């Protein structure tokens, strides 16, 4: 019996315009009305996730944010909160600034998104997620021991790919991964969507076999490998489709709804 649906957001639950397709809104409403939990599993911060259910006039769901770095119940109780260490954060920020030009850095800590300057990329991220940002100084935050859950970079795709390759080798204690061709996410090495899911499932007393996970990209790999009932969207890269136990329609075509209907979780 399925007791929880786990879904990535961008490229999975949302369409390519960052909107909720009607079929996915229907799926969310139907399964939660049946008493099945629905949890978003994303690199986004909580404030970039809650606008999705707010727009549907629905209660907040449990969230696994920062790709597992911060886990919250539907009542926003913190179950897990993992930060990057002071020295690792300081050193990788210095390496980023000295090694590459034309990058936009963001510093996420708890429920706060901090930037040192506002540019078009910051504005675009705000428009895409609905999350509010604050102006701050990363060095001052570190000096006050306000450590980040995630360091986030927006940059041109070739730069992003190069940063991932170089920084992954230089900082083995950190998880450095692209979540899109132009987005780089940095978290503590112990953090992944899979570890966040394990925390959430343990809290609710739900087994891996009682979950279904939907994803579309490389940062969903650990999640799709962990959950036996794993589903890749049709818009996923071939490597991700091979990892999942099933493939459904694309994010544009309501793939979450069609798969849940196919296996009988949603019935007409």
Per CATH, 4-81+191-262 and 86-188 having the same topology is answered no
Euclidean distance between CA atoms 59 and 79, whole angstroms: 19
Token pair of 23 as six digits: 């079929």
Other beta carbons within 10 angstroms of residue 198's beta carbon come to: 17
Confidence check: pLDDT of 93 > 90: yes
What is this structure's pTM? 0.91
**Closest C-alpha among 255, 152, 155 to residue 212:** 255
**Closest C-alpha among 191, 196, 188, 189 to residue 147:** 188
Q: What was the pLDDT predicted at 115?
A: 97
Q: What was the pLDDT predicted at 268?
A: 66
CB 118 within 8 Å of CB 135 = yes
Question: b vs e for 101-114, b when ≥16 Cβ sit within 10 Å of the residue's Cβ?
Answer: eebbbbbbbbbbbb
pLDDT, one tens digit per residue, over 8-35 is: 999 999 999 999 999 999 999 999 999 9
Average pLDDT over residues 96-112: 97
What CATH number does domain 86-188 carry, 3.30.1240.10, 3.55.40.10, 3.40.30.10, 3.30.300.30? Answer: 3.30.1240.10
Every domain of the chain and the residues it spans? 4-81+191-262, 86-188
Q: What is the CA radius of gyration of the chain?
A: 18
Token pair of 234 as six digits: 């049709």
Euclidean distance between CA atoms 209 and 104, whole angstroms: 40
Q: For the domain made up of 4-81+191-262, give the CATH fold.
A: Rossmann fold (3.40.50)
Q: What was the pLDDT predicted at 128?
A: 87
pLDDT band at 179 (very low <50, low <70, confident <90, very high): confident
CA angle 62, 64, 70 (to 5 degrees): 115
Q: What was the pLDDT predicted at 114?
A: 98
């Amino acid at each position: 019996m399925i007791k929880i649906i786990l879904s990535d957001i961008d490229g999975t639950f949302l369409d390519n315009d960052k909107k909720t397709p009607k079929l996915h809104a229907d799926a969310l409403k139907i399964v939660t009305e049946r008493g099945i939990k629905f949890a978003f599993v994303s690199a986004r911060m909580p404030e970039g996730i809650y606008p999705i259910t707010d727009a549907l006039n629905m209660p907040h769901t449990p969230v696994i944010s920062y790709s597992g770095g911060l886990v919250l119940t539907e009542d926003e109780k913190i179950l897990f909160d993992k930060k990057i260490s002071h020295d690792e954060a300081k050193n990788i920020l210095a390496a980023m600034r000295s090694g590459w030009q034309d990058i936009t850095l963001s510093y996420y800590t708890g429920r706060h998104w901090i930037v040192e300057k506002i540019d078009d990329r910051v504005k675009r991220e705000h428009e895409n997620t609905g999350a509010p940002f604050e102006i701050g100084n990363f060095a001052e935050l570190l000096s006050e021991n306000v450590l980040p859950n995630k360091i986030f970079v927006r940059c041109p795709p070739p730069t992003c790919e190069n940063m991932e390759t170089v920084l992954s080798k230089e900082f083995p204690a950190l998880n450095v991964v692209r979540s899109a061709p132009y987005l780089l996410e940095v978290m503590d090495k112990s953090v992944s969507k899979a570890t966040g899911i394990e925390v959430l499932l343990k809290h609710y007393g739900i087994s891996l076999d009682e979950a279904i996970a939907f994803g579309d990209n490389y940062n969903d790999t650990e999640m799709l490998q962990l959950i036996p009932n794993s589903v890749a969207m049709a818009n996923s890269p071939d490597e991700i489709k091979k990892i999942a136990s099933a493939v459904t329609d694309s994010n544009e075509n309501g793939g979450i709804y069609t798969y849940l209907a196919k296996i009988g979780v949603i019935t007409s």
